[in-house]
Structure 1
Amino acid sequence: MPNYWGEHTSTIDWCESNYAHTPYIAETINTLTNLPSILLGLYGFWSTLSNGLPTRYSICYLGLSLIGVGSFGFHMSLRWEWQLMDELPMIYVVSYAAFLVLETSPGLDFKYGVLGPLIMIAWDVFVTVSYIYLPNPVYHQIAFAFILLTTTARTVYLTLALPKSHPARSKIGSTMAWGIATFALGFAIWNVDNVFCETLRTIREFLGPLGVFVEGHAYWHLMTGYGAFLIFTASVLLHLAIKVSPDAYDFDEKAWFPVVKPVDPAKRRRVKENGRAR
């Protein structure tokens, strides 16, 4: 039976052998390992809204699901249009996170009104148009790395700037560190997959069905999805501690999938009234 998606049109083809399991999915393991990120994002989105947090923070988690959907379609088809649906949302979500972490004035109103969102949108449009006309994966990686490192540096700075007596300082810092470390380890494993692809393919053939456990790019999906979830959770608490109150919200740092919650309903009502949460 011929491959359902035909010849691939993407500018990237990963180390996993194409159509090894079914004619309907180009890279089975790389495709399926996006499902946890999609579900984690939906869980974070639902938890944020159900716990009464400002809607702006739930969008970060929904963005994680959007990236997962795009990556699912990309690895399933290896088509250029799905490659864009994978790579461009990465830029959009991190740009949105950058906007939030740069807008840390007290209260939930935006300090510069619509100017901040307009700058973010202008950046996203510029990267989108330039990448379509210059479809070089290295260009996308540089643009993504630039905004990601800027956002991470700003977040770390804000965390360290909190007073040592701040009730959430160590919790935010440790959760953020675990998220960054998980993200970085996934990136390292992915690069091992790139450098030693032919060797790994030989190992996979030798291992047979167990070869799925040495699909390096799949670990990138799993680890970056989980790492991003932890980073988002720590960032949400950091933002609320700075913009609203240091003691109104909290999360269980021992939980596998921590989400920010109000400390008690009375404080949540106070925060909504004083901060006009939205």
Structure 2
Amino acid sequence: MGAFEGAFDTLRGDQISSGFWGEHTSTIDWCENNYVHTPYIAETINTLTNLPSILLGFYGFFSILKNNLPIRFSFCYLGLSLIGIGSFGFHMSLKWEWQLMDELPMIYVVSYAAFLILETSPGLKFRYGILGPLIMIIWDIFVTISYIYLPNPVYHQIAFALILITTTTKTAYLAFKLPKNHPSKFKIGKTMSKGIITFAIGFGIWNIDNIFCKQLRIIREYLGPLGVFIEGHAYWHLMTGYGSFLIFTASILLHLCIKVSPDAYTFNEKAFFPIVYPVNPIERKKVKSNGHSK
């Protein structure tokens, strides 16, 4: 599919439009100059800054397994890795197929988070049975098909923002309803806020990079090798990856507080990469023996 004549085509400017992976077919070419560091990667900095998100997602996934938490929560972290892998391929090749692998998993992961946040009844059995997953899958299929036929980045961003804002609002409401002065309420609120602020700052830097692209390119040329430190889209990758990790971690503890007990699980909110774990082995065995490990 050829490039869509749409919202972000102005970022292309005089960019190189083909390379090792062939002609660029993505609807977006970001502000980073193409093939500056190697002929095999279109946007080097934007590509490499996805590695922390990929590794962080796997770290979260294995922490779920290590601490015998319900497997359903591991898919949030795996989704973060999947988005990072898709974004890595997208910025490396600037191909439409890889752009879809970057953007569509964003919808899928947030949709899954929305599905989980609606499962707020006590116990870890699905509240709505098969209906909840079915609605989520139908929504994902609708967005996938409509985006393929209407490949405008603004459409994707609106769909993503709507479900993200709705999920975040619902999560904040549930956190507010936790027992007053309970340690978990403080941990969840602090970590969730830190994640949202980090995410929002990354979003702001990304938009500055879009709006002032021409000026920033001039500054990068002047700075030479140090110009890599003002690649705004790279900060978006780093900050949203870390922000998402914190939001997922806080949300997992919130779910377990509601579904199991506010006293059964915790995490160290002072840790840079906090992970949820049982307060004691007895609680872990209790949850496992009741069939709540999925």
Given the two structures, how large is their TM-score scaled by the length of structure 2?
0.93
1 CA distance for matches of 2:86 and 2:157? Answer: 16
Q: What SS class does the counterpart of residue 71 from structure 1 fall into?
A: helix
The residue correspondences of 1:70-81 to structure 2 (distance < 5 A) are 70-81=86-97
Name 1:225's counterpart in structure 2: 241
The residue correspondences of 1:207-218 to structure 2 (distance < 5 A) are 207-218=223-234
Q: 1:249 aligns with which of 265, 278, 290?
A: 265
Asked if residue 59 in structure 1 is aligned to residue 59 in structure 2, the reply is no
Asked if residue 186 in structure 1 is aligned to residue 170 in structure 2, the reply is no
2 CA distance for matches of 1:163 and 1:253? Answer: 18
Name 1:155's counterpart in structure 2: 171
Cα deviation code 1:26-73 (max 9, x no counterpart):
000000000000000000000111110000001100000000000000
Aligned-residue offset at 1:275: 5.6
Given the two structures, how large is their TM-score scaled by the length of structure 1?
0.98
1 CA distance for matches of 2:19 and 2:179? Answer: 58
**Letter matched to residue 74 of structure 2:** S
1 CA distance for matches of 2:184 and 2:72? Answer: 21
The residue correspondences of 1:1-278 to structure 2 (distance < 5 A) are 3-274=19-290, 276-278=292-294
1 CA distance for matches of 2:127 and 2:117? Answer: 12
Aligned-residue offset at 1:237: 0.2
Name 2:15's counterpart in structure 1: none
Contact 1:37 1:64 in 2 (8 A): yes
Q: What SS class does the counterpart of residue 19 from structure 2 fall into?
A: coil
Q: What SS class does the counterpart of residue 16 from structure 1 fall into?
A: coil
Q: Report the RMSD for the aligned CA atoms in angstroms.
A: 0.9
**Letter matched to residue 120 of structure 2:** T
Q: What SS class does the counterpart of residue 252 from structure 1 fall into?
A: coil
2 CA distance for matches of 1:72 and 1:268? Answer: 37
2 CA distance for matches of 1:13 and 1:117? Answer: 35
2 CA distance for matches of 1:203 and 1:35? Answer: 26
Q: Which sections of structure 1, spanning at least 5 residues, go unmatched?
A: none
1 CA distance for matches of 2:63 and 2:128? Answer: 29
Aligned residues: 277
**Letter matched to residue 125 of structure 1:** I
Cα deviation code 1:81-101 (max 9, x no counterpart):
000000000000000001001
Percent identity reads 77
Contact 1:193 1:216 in 2 (8 A): yes
Cα deviation code 1:162-195 (max 9, x no counterpart):
1213330011000000000000000000000000
Aligned-residue offset at 1:161: 1.3
Aligned-residue offset at 1:271: 2.0
